[in-house]
Structure 1
């Protein structure tokens, strides 16, 4: 054997030994899965040339796993995306409920209620249309309009205009009513220019994220819309092959707006409406198991404020024991309060639960940062020591070999949100994302969408697609493994979890069969 032949033989053996440790290979071979996986790999290889290897107008550097907001239109037209849309996704474990319905739908809801008004920081013109600050909120039925048009040269800044009237009288030079729709919905989401040019770092993009979120939340937190909003979220979710949801609901505001524009709808009513909508949806749909709530609060409270929310969470758990499945602190970890500053109330809350005979697991955001040794990065230590059942994001976990070992051995799953991480500038593109490191080190992962209304990644199909095309090794079997993990590491009890897994396996088998026989998946 020549030295070259010997090297070649060792090379083949080393690659096989290395890839044998990947999740794709830690399974019993199933011919149908293997056939479907081979087909998906062929499609990916073909489209690497026919789709990503050609020029696209307005996209100067197309490549698989590229910046999502720039490549989304290309992605949506691919054959591979059509396949993934048909795939059953399992559970969605990390999504913020008040940022889940598309801005276009949300604006349409608001325009149906005369109580909604809008105001801007200045007269809206072609020069400032993208930079003015605007606010939308419901007001009392007898509230007198303070102005008639946002684009009138005489408009007094920050004066309220009825939303429908502002739309009707929006300057034709700015697109008229349709231009108004584009303008408002554009402020509710992040676009490529914002993410990749004007706010292209993790600090500035959070400023845009917060402004987009605040514009939407006053509409979402209007009781007549809240009911319709939850229903719309469930319909969109089930349509994308998601069978179960654990949604984070932000209970930082004490009240929601009622039909008269007054902030007097308490948390207990939020959850009562949530339960009613979910129960009705479950009765109507066989393709959806359930939706639960993770009680969340913004991590900007002082200790006393956090304790008030912990008491409220306990009360909500007692009132809705089958709905509340966890507690979390959310918001920009780089700038807001770290977990270590909340240790005393969080430890006391665990002890309180034992005395009260309830269980509200911690499911903490931690490590959503590029930092190493920063307060955001060190949230990982405290989250694990506090007994978190899962970790939201955990982007910096790969810098900590001991923590990866603990997550692997103790079954602490990471809720990885690939598109969110990229748009919030933790990574430049999917090929640079640390997800493969987590998977190849045995850390359980559930793919999630985070804030799809802002990031335009509705459902889970776009996140699954980006993960698949960003690797030459990852295949359909890995996506199936991720879907199973989302069920395994959900907060469902044993019987519910088994039922959900059975539902998913049935749909998975049907999906594979249709895929290999060229049925709807490839049309």
Structure 2
């Protein structure tokens, strides 16, 4: 056996132990079980919710929820294949919706949604059933089988189409009964990652991210049509409200919007749309607390683009000081720039801004992607998005607990980007009261 390999193995076995230390004295049976009981109590107290005090009817409500949850856990212990959280969400989404635990949670108040992205705000059903049936929506069908959508006037030549058919009115395609069903099926498929065999379709993180990003490449030209964007955002608020979510912090790239007259609308106008639409929604639903905006452009940026981001953010804060609350960078970490590249720029403005940074959304260890966690904590991030690699950085974990930096845990997202199929990161962070 190779000596180096054996030494590494030995290190793995003995790390954290005091080699040669005397064993503790065996305790009596009564003392052992008392120690064990105290151990379980202490462990539960330091876990998420361990020190909560129930009021009014909260304990009774909790007992109902826990009974449903424990029934599913017990069934899963006997038959692991029946335990829905351990299976790919894309294959069990309908079963999840039908579970007793989900149906109870669905009716419960949720408080706040703190990690939602702008063009992933509503259900795919709303996009398909409402937006794709609107007037003036054209489709381009290039040879690669993809669909490109845009609201436009008939004579608009500004946006080219790589198809011999050119831009076709979607309503006309649907009027053709011989292709209507195929067109609708392909549109629906382009809006979701749901496939019969996700493991085969998305064998690794890069393939999964490409499929994920292609959804937004497909739908964004539809959503960024000004009248649609306002309706889409209002519908997103309604769907959250209908789910008993009463407050939203929205991450937005503040995409450029357009109208049929060729006008374009930049970050200030888009932020104003969010603010005014939120105010209209709150007026119609007075128990909804409101929305705050986190400006979150793409992390795949160069120095000049980062300067532009921060200039835009400063303008947003000046115009909407109580509405725009922070800054983030979004996108696949392996393909984007590490936070370390922009540390000096972020440090120059960080005393006056709050950072809500995506960091550690990766399985890697010792590379720039997971080391984003180090920069996030040193930049005094208010919250960390995903933080999947947090357990590989114990000092970051320690500081996150000490500084009460919340970790925005996203188990379904982690699963679909091929990071975690068993919610291990969720279990680890909730057990330490981090999330």
TM-score (norm 1): 0.72
What is aligned with 2:288? 288
Native 8 Å contact 1:422 1:428 kept in 2: yes
Map 1:376-391 onto structure 2 (within 5 A). Answer: 376-391=369-384
Equivalent residues in 2 for 1:262-341 (5 A)?
A: 262=262, 264-341=264-341
- The 8 Å contact of residues 121 and 233 in structure 2, kept in 1 or not, is answered as no
Tell me the residue number matched to 1:161.
Answer: 168
Residue 302 of structure 1 deviates from its aligned partner by 1.0
Name 2:218's counterpart in structure 1: 215
Aligned to 2:65: 40
1:362 matched to 2:340? no
Instruction: Show the 5 A alignment for 1:32-431.
Output: 32-48=57-73, 61-65=81-85, 66-122=87-143, 132-143=145-156, 156-157=163-164, 159-169=166-176, 171-172=178-179, 176-177=180-181, 179-193=182-196, 195-251=198-254, 253=255, 255-260=256-261, 262=262, 264-350=264-350, 359-430=352-423
Distance 1:415 1:90 in 2: 14
State the partner residue of 2:425. Answer: 434
Q: What is the aligned-residue RMSD (CA, Å)?
A: 2.8
What is the CA distance between 1:220 and its match in structure 2?
Answer: 1.2
Say which one has the larger Rg.
2
Measured in 1, the distance between the counterparts of 2:384 and 2:62 equals 29
Gaps of 5+ in 1: 55-59, 123-130, 352-358, 446-523
Tell me how far 1:192 sits from its aligned partner: 3.9
1:76-116 Cα deviation digits (max 9, x unpaired): 11222111011111111110011112223223343444332
Question: Structure 2, unaligned stretches of length 5 or more?
Answer: 1-25
C-alpha contact (below 8 Å) 1:195/1:205 kept by paired residues? no
d(CA) in 1 for partners of 2:398, 2:333: 23
CA contact (8 A) 2:141 2:163 kept: no
> Given the alignment of the two structures, is residue 16 of structure 1 paired with residue 41 of structure 2, yes or no?
yes
Separation in 2, partners of 1:429, 1:404: 21
Say if 1:220 and 1:226, in contact at 8 Å, map to a contact too. Answer: yes
Distance 1:139-1:213 versus aligned 2 partners, 3 A rule: same
Q: Is the 8 A contact 1:119 1:157 kept in 2?
A: no
Q: Structure 1 residue 370: deviation in Å?
A: 0.8
Q: 2: distance between equivalents of 1:375 and 1:79?
A: 42
Contact 1:104 1:181 in 2 (8 A): no
> Which digits, 9 at most, give the CA deviation of each residue in 1:43-66, with x for residues without a partner?
223345679978xxxxx9331312
TM-superposition CA deviations, 1:407-458 (whole Å, max 9, x none): 111111111111111111110133xx22232233332x2xxxxxxxxxxxxx
Residues 1:2 and 1:364: Cα distance change in structure 2 (over 3 Å): closer
Taking the aligned partners of 2:41 and 2:258, their CA distance within structure 1 comes to: 59
Kindly state the Cα deviation for residue 394 of structure 1 after the two structures are TM-superposed. Answer: 0.7
Please tell me whether the aligned partners of residues 362 and 419 of structure 2 are also in contact (alpha carbons under 8 angstroms): yes
Distance in 1 (CA, whole Å) between partners of 2:233 and 2:408 is 22
Cα distance per residue 1:184-230 (max 9 Å; x no partner): 12111111446322113211100101101111111111101011111
| CA drift at 1:381 | 0.9
Offset at residue 180 of structure 1 (A): 2.6
Q: Is the 8 A contact 1:404 1:441 kept in 2?
A: no
Query: What is the distance in 1 between the residues matched to 2:382 and 2:280?
Result: 29
Distance 1:31 1:246, change over 3 A: closer
CA contact (8 A) 1:339 1:382 kept: yes
Structure 1 stretch 162-171 or stretch 391-400: which is displaced more?
162-171
Alpha-carbon contact 1:258-1:264 (below 8 Å) kept: yes
Q: Structure 1 195/326 Cα, relative in aligned 2: closer, same or farther at 3 Å?
A: farther
Cα distance in 1 for partners of 2:214, 2:108 equals: 34
Paired with 1:48 and 1:403, the residues of 2 have a C-alpha distance of: 32
SS of the residue corresponding to residue 294 of structure 1 reads strand
